[in-house]
Chains A and B, each alone.
Chain A
Amino acid sequence: MHPALSVIVFTVASGIGYGMLMLLAILLPTAAAPADRLFGAVALGLALAAIGGGLLSSTAHLGRPERAWRAFSQWRSSWLSREGILAVLSLLAIAALALVWPILAAPAPCIDATVILAGLLSAATVGATAMIYRSLKPIARWHNGWTVPCYLALALASGSLWLAWAGAATGEADVMPRSLAPCLVLVAAAVKAFYWRHTDRMQPVSSIGTATGLGGFGQVRPLDPPHTAENYVMKEMGFRIARKHAAKLRRIAGGLGVVAPLLLMLAGWMVPALDGPTILLAAPVATIGVLVERWLFFAEAKHLAMLYYRADVA
């Protein structure tokens, strides 16, 4: 599948913002995170910027962005519609949280109720985003049980790193238990490794034989294509990258998204003087890794329609 930059930026950025809210919904009511107003302003400002920027980026993928409001109507059947509604509801909840926490400093029960609501809506939004891909039968790399866990785990891991960033930036060293971010990064790495292991070993259910109905007559080989230049279907569904690049990019994603932030956090833990700078560095470095991972999520996905053009690519 063609890796559209607008969709990659949207899923990664909104994952960061929603991941931060999912974690705050647990950390704030249990008093594991400080109710400090400056920390709240920076954390929620970051989350709102990531989600808002991501949503704006996603409209760049549309042919008619001025009609985007129409996407809220078909929630009964469409995961994209559900995602749109949930995204707006969670944005409203986060805005309400910004009002009661950093702006008004309302009583704790009020803040707790709002952050739990925002966290639940955020988790539902990330789940709906993943379900858009999970529900597409023609794309086997997406249509499997690991897609939704991947999106949730990566949102939590990158959200934890940026929450730590907000803490370091505001001088709040203990915004969460020390081991939380490294653990979430490791969990995300494990889930993504299982995703790759599973999707690398999948046996295709369809072939050029079932796509044309001609499989019973022998091996089917494309002879003449229908058109001399690439059409929309080939450009959108036929994006291919060399396998050696895929393997290299997976290592880059793992190095930047997992190894680098873990080493940085370890360095900060062993040398207290480095604690702040390493955390400030860990989140952006890991985000580059997640962007590479998301690029691969699209670029490695093969679409069954390509069977009609080249038997070996779907």
Chain B
Amino acid sequence: MTGLPTPGATRLGLVIDLDICVGCHACAVNCKEWNTGGTAGPLTDLMPYDAMPDGVWFNRVHSYEVGDGAAGRTVHFPRSCLHCDNAECVTVCPTGASLKRAEDGIVLVNEDICIGCKLCSWACPYGAREFDEDVGVMRKCTLCVDRIYDEARPEAERVPACVSTCPASARFFGDLGDPASDVSRMVEARGGMALMPELDYRPTNRYLPPRPRGGGCSSHLNSPALEPAVPEGTGFLGWLDRLLSA
């Protein structure tokens, strides 16, 4: 049923720390690896060894330049499904294949009944859904629903593949519906951001903004050691400078 459930108490999602992410793409690669073999797989690759390889990935890492001059910085930005409370990718679905689970808020595609009309991808402003041309259905992040509830795994491993693999610990998984959870406290403390809040899709996932810059070496543009050398006009170097300037 493509009606949206009343948001439950549990809202599973990701918190991504943009201050820590180093843009290594390990989360995207491990996501692809896990999901091409998991219940969502295989994830199609089209012409993978060609000049223009194409294929389905649930997670994509962009890199941006933000700000100018001394305040400028590079921010790496992993982008995947945000598991919105007001998920219009679900309500536009004509078949009921696109669904949001009441018990944990995860947005999924039932690939057995999806007709591949692509309307859900048009309804998502975050570009989180990708069409699988091979199978003819829509694919998306499952929040590794086949990992996080797998009781055969040690409890510490019951997290999405992207979270388990992040070498910088920039990704966190938890219940954003519980204000006392680690992820909720992190969002509270760091001012976690929702993407495009003006559209009212009410995403579950949050992004922690880069931390404010301190002094010291945080900006090389202000470092005295890198100021242009001013010849003193004395000694051997001063003599050499005058000689070469002549």
Asked if B145 is at the interface (CB within 8 A of a chain A CB), the reply is no
Q: What is the bound-complex CA distance between A62 and B97, given in angstroms?
A: 14
Contact of A63 among B64, B127, B131, B196 (CB under 8 A): B131
Q: What is the bound-complex CA distance between A71 and B53, given in angstroms?
A: 32
Please, what's the 1-or-0 string for B97-134, where 1 marks a CB less than 8 Å from any CB in chain A? 10000000000000001111111011111110011110
The tally of residues in A whose CB lies under 8 Å from a CB in B reads: 60
Q: Please indicate the chain B residues that have their CB under 8 angstroms from the CB of A223 in the complex.
A: 63-65, 74
Q: Shortest distance in angstroms between B81's beta carbon and chain A's nearest beta carbon?
A: 12
Q: What is the bound-complex CA distance between A7 and B90, given in angstroms?
A: 21
Please, what's the 1-or-0 string for B53-93, where 1 marks a CB less than 8 Å from any CB in chain A? 11111001111111110011111010100000000101111
Asked if B199 is at the interface (CB within 8 A of a chain A CB), the reply is yes
Contact check, B125 vs A206: say whether CB atoms are below 8 A apart: yes
Q: Please indicate the chain A residues that have their CB under 8 angstroms from the CB of B136 in the complex.
A: 62-64
Please, what's the 1-or-0 string for A211-241, where 1 marks a CB less than 8 Å from any CB in chain B? 1111011111111111111111100110000
**B residues engaging A (CB < 8 A)?**
1-4, 18, 23, 25, 28, 51-57, 60-68, 71-75, 77, 79, 88, 90-97, 113-119, 121-127, 130-133, 135-138, 193-199, 201, 207, 209-210
Contact check, A226 vs B79: say whether CB atoms are below 8 A apart: yes
Q: How many A-B contacts if CB must be within 8 Å?
A: 214
Asked if A138 is at the interface (CB within 8 A of a chain B CB), the reply is yes
Q: Other than the known A65-B115, A231-B55, what 14 A-B pairs have Cβ atoms closer than 8 Å? A: A62-B117, A70-B96, A74-B96, A76-B3, A77-B92, A80-B119, A137-B125, A138-B122, A139-B122, A212-B207, A217-B73, A228-B53, A304-B199, A308-B62
**A residues engaging B (CB < 8 A)?**
1, 61-65, 67-68, 70-74, 76-81, 84, 132, 135-139, 205-206, 208, 210-214, 216-233, 236-237, 303-306, 308-309
Q: Please indicate the chain A residues that have their CB under 8 angstroms from the CB of B199 in the complex.
A: 137-138, 205-206, 304
Contact check, A73 vs B74: say whether CB atoms are below 8 A apart: no
